[in-house]
Amino acid sequence: MKFICTLCLLLLGSTVLFAQSKTGHINFQQMIGIMPESKLAGDSLNILQEKLNADGQQLVAEYTKKVTDFDSTQHTLSPAMKEVKVSEIKALQANIQKYKEMSEQAMNTREQQLLTPILDKAKKILKAVANEKGYTLVIDNSRDAVLVSAEADDLMSAVKVKMGIR
């Protein structure tokens, strides 16, 4: 009997706790996108991308020149010289591939450096808004992971106010 009474009290208590929870949702990607820091980060990444592309184009131009020179002079070259030229061209191809990998790594590293503080700030703002408004759960609906849920409040307008964005 004691066990049944205790079980009933536990179930009743947990129901009361769950009834007090408040759920909200926000499109976190959209929130990040409206932050002024995101535009600055995007501009910085675009500048880096343009610089890396320009350097890569120089490598491609050098490769193209070597291939064109080889094509026009290969009939007059000795077999040993052809082999040297072919190995030079292959080395240029390898350099282009290596540069491409290095530039992608540089872009990823820079993107992480720029986005980490933005994400941290966004999470801090969202947590502050959720605490102010009494939300115990906030769902990110930017990935369409939640297919069906109970009615929840959209926190985007409150977050915009907290960030000073209209």
Contact 107, 52 (CB under 8 A): yes
125 has a pLDDT exceeding 60:
yes
Counting DSSP H helices and E strands in the chain, the numbers are 5, 3
Q: What is the pLDDT of residue 5?
A: 44
Enter the tokens of residue 129.
């808004």
Q: Tens of pLDDT along 69-98? A: 999 998 898 999 999 999 999 999 999 999
Return the CA Rg of the chain: 29
pTM confidence score: 0.69
Q: What is the pLDDT of residue 153?
A: 75
What's the average model confidence in pLDDT over 98-113? 97
* Backbone φ, ψ for residue 74 (5° rounding): -65, -25
Structure-model confidence comparison of residues 151 and 62, the more confident one: 62
